[in-house]
Structure 1
Amino acid sequence: MHIHILGICGTFMGGVAALAREAGHKVTGCDSGVYPPMSDQLRALGIDLIEGYGADQMALKPDVYVIGNVVSRARAADGTPKFPLMEAILDSGAPYTSGPQWLAENVLQGRHVLAVAGTHGKTTTTSMLAWILDHAGLQPGFLVGGVPLNFGISARLGGMPNRDKACETAAPSAEVKEETAQRSGDTQQRAQPSRQPLPEQHRPLFVIEADEYDTAFFDKRSKFVHYRPRTAILNNLEFDHADIFDDLAAIERQFHHLVRTVPGSGRVVFNGLEESLTRVLHQGCWSEQRSFGAASSDFQAQGEPQDFEVLRHGASVAHVQWQVGGVHNQLNALAAIAAAEHVGVTPAQAALALHEFQNVKRRMEMRGVVPRVGGGITVYDDFAHHPTAIRTTLDGLRRQIGPKGGTSSPRILAVFEPRSNTMKLGTMKAQLPWSLEDADLAFCHTGGLGWDAREALAPMGARAQVADNIDELVRQVTAVARAGDHILCMSNGGFGGVHQKLLEALAAPAMA
């Protein structure tokens, strides 16, 4: 099959392209602004890339066009279509589909899909789960919205599970069956687990980051509705994507659509601390449920985020000691452990894998250290872009480096860009001072914003500065940076290469 992907350089569509190529299909694609690193990765796979969306690409005559979410029916002020290729596809009647639909029909069919959904932590938790299963010999396929450092790639097809390496079968234990029966107050809401092994021993596994954003301009359902998981993680849920959702209730409805697709023999793993997820499940759930995080949850953590006991029903079943910090990652780990258990990996096995987990690129990724007398200045890169994610990321770093306060205490300089569609709309601007409480100083890049960042950050007083361009931002940060500082750069985009510019500016002779 020859597929031509419109919007191929996006993280998700690039992963679809890699999977299609690995499966033996001919893959070509187009995008605007075809640039490294994604362009280099795709070309290395033998995928031809075309700049722009010109209608002349119809001459390629692929078997199907796969349409990315970036494509729309939008027109310029003069009436010219912004995506002429899409208009030509529609006019010609050529076959087309969305990325999630193509994936569901050509990759996920016949596999035990483990889907990770949530407002925050999807990429990290998906990476953890894929690594746990791989470490156990189950050879999962995966598609992640980032690059797990343990794998070095964002997507692969996977192979057949080596269940001789996994020391526990996936069949529910007598304890699990009894507990499920005791907790099943409504048989229509909570079905009994299947008596058959879960999953079927021959079924290959596939772990996927399950996004609630819409599928395509012609399919406004959330992407994850296409995936039909047998194991689903609902990691957390709060308002986001203000460009397509009116309120939290609208997102909760989409999450319930996902829950509706999980079979009775499946498992839904959910965060017991989230009232929004409780509301989702109260709308109806017909699968085994496992909760994590709360004092009454099935899975709990006891101890510090980097060194903790995993408790199941109050009894210790594993000990996790790893290099990943933050309470949010402790919760991510519990979710991954509970999901892995559903396919036969014990919590103890999962903990061994997490000891070797290297996190994901752009998740508290150290980009460099500039030497200074008294301690180097460390620059980090993180994908955080929602106020809650910014706050939890800063909390994780603060726990790692020590408390805020005295003149000799390590300082955090938060450098951030409100770049997501939700943040650009200003929907959550009032939460920014709250999200930045753990930062000693904050620096905001305002390029492209439709609201006044200075006004939004005014409650922070002199702790916050605003810059209209990257060069000004770099000057502001370097003017106050001192030995021992930790500079955390946060954006869901490239951020104008600010990380490297900061490292170079701080290393300049005048700054040393």
Structure 2
Amino acid sequence: MPQTIHFISIGGSAMHNLALALHQQGYIITGSDDEIYDPSRSRLQKHGLLPSEMGWFPEKIHAGLSSVIVGMHARKDNPELVKAQELGLPIFSYPEFLYQRSQQKQRVVIAGSHGKTTITAIILHALQFHGRDFDYLVGEQIEGFETMAKLTPTAPVIIIEGDEYASSPIDSRPKFLHYQPHIALISGIAWDHVNIYPTWESYVKQFEQLAEAMPKAGILIFDESDNMLDIIGQKERTDITKIPYLAHPSKLINGQTYLLTKQGGQVPVLLFGEYNMKNIRGAMVVCDRIGITEDQFYEAIQSFKPVAKRLEKIASKANSPTTNRVLLRDFAHSPAKVEATTDSVKKQFPNQKLAAIAELHSFSSLTKTFLSEYQDALNAADIAVVYFNAHTRPYLDSTDPISVNDVINAFGRADLHVFTQADELADFLILERNNADIFLFMGSGEFGGLNVQELSQKLL
């Protein structure tokens, strides 16, 4: 008799993918949510797992359930959660459940404030390229994989993108602390999520706990150029192996990035920029530890395509006999990411004018006390633009909302252009069309519903 598992808040990004993965393994899956958007909605509907109506229904919770998995979108007083507690059912956050089902596997966790999705995706690509059997959980849909999660009884290793967000409404511990990884990579630490970690110290502490909680004989891989990670890496743990890494040596030739190998070879890749060279090196170190040789890695990395919204080329068009006008999209939303991405793109196109457009969308970015972290973040841009929407939930929830002048002062550029209306932003960029060659959109939001693909036709 197959086990029945109920998902409270099944529409979440990781939640719906885990539900699909378990459904594919033969489990009976039920679920509830009060709102589900695409792509979650379409995927759940395709497999017959979309709830027939939105809302919370305590009658769905019964003694016949083998377990209940609760997502962060639910509240502590969620009626289904309360009913499950009253019945004494096994209740898990999805990281807890994932650990329970992977105790016999080698667990590899990729953590850090930036780069973890790309690093995880590179590792998955290399494993799949060489026909290895593996399970995984990754935060974004990546090319070549139908779902963002796979959980089987047979795979010997599981690759998990681990984040520092709280695990569930009844478990405030960061998700990555549940996994107890045999191999952990921390890509870098840059303060974020101030609504959860109000101080730099409280944020860093989560990563220290991840390193300290590793089992004996574990392997900790970390970015040696990150000062805070270097401190974590030097902490006394004689029972684990510590492997620092730096950016992979590379060379830019006529706009094409090549990895430089120890043997003097040049390997073409579709990624560029200092951070991506770090991502490649970090992934390479992990792959070496799970049975992918250096030659095999170089063979696989050549066909790896950037993850969606990670320096993704939206459109391009010949601007002159020697240059292209290019529109790029990147998920960069924290100060360190915005600065690194802007710098990388300017170095990639050193002789072309760069218009960098950053959206302030997260709770942290829309908070006055955090805004100063963006000082100099757009300095590499020839035209610097910031957009924020005063009608988004993070802005409305902020106890100390920002103003246009606050943004100009924080970024430290008197010539910064700041917009709060999407149509005004679009009009400005169209007017600047002939003053820029590269348009870089950065942020975790949607620029107030701006159709970037449609806008690209007018800009190019």
Shift of the 342–70 alpha-carbon distance from structure 1 to 2, 3 Å rule, reads same
Q: SS state of the match for residue 424, structure 1? A: coil
Shift of the 380–10 alpha-carbon distance from structure 1 to 2, 3 Å rule, reads farther
Given that 1:141 and 1:205 are in contact with CA atoms closer than 8 Å, whether structure 2 keeps it comes out as: yes
Q: Does 1:440 align with 2:350?
A: no
Instruction: Name the structure 1 match of 2:367.
Output: 425
1:260 aligned partner, one-letter code: E
Instruction: Name the structure 2 match of 1:454.
Output: 405
2:67 aligned partner, one-letter code: V
Q: Which of these residues, 451, 454, 457, is aligned with residue 504 of structure 1?
A: 454
Instruction: Name the structure 1 match of 2:339.
Output: 391
Instruction: Name the structure 2 match of 1:191.
Output: none
User: Once the 2 structures are TM-superposed, how far is the Cα of residue 146 of structure 1 from its aligned partner?
Assistant: 0.8
- What is the distance in 1 between the residues matched to 2:317 and 2:250? 33
Q: Does 1:402 align with 2:357?
A: no
Q: Which moved more, 1:275-284 or 1:109-118?
A: 275-284
Q: Which of these residues, 228, 231, 243, is aligned with residue 180 of structure 2?
A: 228
Cα shift readout 1:132-157 (whole Å, capped 9, x = no counterpart):
22223322221111122243542223
Cα shift readout 1:321-364 (whole Å, capped 9, x = no counterpart):
31100110101111111111112222222121111111211112
TM-score by length of 1: 0.78
Instruction: Name the structure 1 match of 2:46.
Output: 44
Q: SS state of the match for residue 196, structure 2? A: coil
2:136 aligned partner, one-letter code: F
Given that 2:354 and 2:436 are in contact with CA atoms closer than 8 Å, whether structure 1 keeps it comes out as: no
Q: SS state of the match for residue 434, structure 2? A: coil
Runs of 5+ unmatched residues, structure 1? 74-80, 161-202, 294-299, 404-409
Instruction: Name the structure 1 match of 2:69.
Output: 66
Q: Which of these residues, 288, 294, 318, is aligned with residue 347 of structure 1?
A: 294
- What is the distance in 2 between the residues matched to 1:340 and 1:255? 22
- What is the distance in 2 between the residues matched to 1:136 and 1:506? 37
Given that 1:34 and 1:51 are in contact with CA atoms closer than 8 Å, whether structure 2 keeps it comes out as: no
Cα shift readout 1:40-76 (whole Å, capped 9, x = no counterpart):
1222233223564423563677443211122223xxx
Count of aligned pairs: 440
Residue identity (%): 24
Runs of 5+ unmatched residues, structure 2? 396-400
- What is the distance in 2 between the residues matched to 1:52 and 1:426? 36
- What is the distance in 2 between the residues matched to 1:269 and 1:126? 13
2:344 aligned partner, one-letter code: G
Given that 1:317 and 1:347 are in contact with CA atoms closer than 8 Å, whether structure 2 keeps it comes out as: no
- What is the distance in 1 between the residues matched to 2:128 and 2:106? 14
Q: Does 1:142 align with 2:90?
A: no
Instruction: Name the structure 2 match of 1:34.
Output: 36
User: Once the 2 structures are TM-superposed, how far is the Cα of residue 309 of structure 1 from its aligned partner?
Assistant: 2.6
Q: SS state of the match for residue 206, structure 1? A: strand
Instruction: Name the structure 2 match of 1:482.
Output: 434
- What is the distance in 1 between the residues matched to 2:438 and 2:421? 22
Q: Which moved more, 1:429-438 or 1:203-212?
A: 429-438
Q: SS state of the match for residue 378, structure 1? A: strand
Q: SS state of the match for residue 167, structure 2? A: strand
User: Once the 2 structures are TM-superposed, how far is the Cα of residue 4 of structure 1 from its aligned partner?
Assistant: 2.5
Q: Does 1:325 align with 2:272?
A: yes
1:434 aligned partner, one-letter code: D
TM-score by length of 2: 0.86
1:156 aligned partner, one-letter code: K
Counterparts of 1:206-217 in structure 2, within 5 Å, are 206-217=158-169
Counterparts of 1:286-297 in structure 2, within 5 Å, are 286-293=239-246
- What is the distance in 2 between the residues matched to 1:483 and 1:476? 11
User: Once the 2 structures are TM-superposed, how far is the Cα of residue 436 of structure 1 from its aligned partner?
Assistant: 1.0
- What is the distance in 2 between the residues matched to 1:362 and 1:152? 18
Shift of the 370–8 alpha-carbon distance from structure 1 to 2, 3 Å rule, reads farther
- What is the distance in 1 between the residues matched to 2:290 and 2:210? 19
Given that 2:407 and 2:418 are in contact with CA atoms closer than 8 Å, whether structure 1 keeps it comes out as: no
- What is the distance in 1 between the residues matched to 2:452 and 2:436? 15
CA root-mean-square deviation = 2.8
Q: Which moved more, 1:373-382 or 1:342-351?
A: 373-382
User: Once the 2 structures are TM-superposed, how far is the Cα of residue 105 of structure 1 from its aligned partner?
Assistant: 1.2
Q: Which moved more, 1:212-221 or 1:411-420?
A: 411-420
- What is the distance in 2 between the residues matched to 1:289 and 1:137? 28
- What is the distance in 2 between the residues matched to 1:470 and 1:5? 36
2:33 aligned partner, one-letter code: D
- What is the distance in 2 between the residues matched to 1:218 and 1:365? 37
Given that 2:355 and 2:381 are in contact with CA atoms closer than 8 Å, whether structure 1 keeps it comes out as: yes
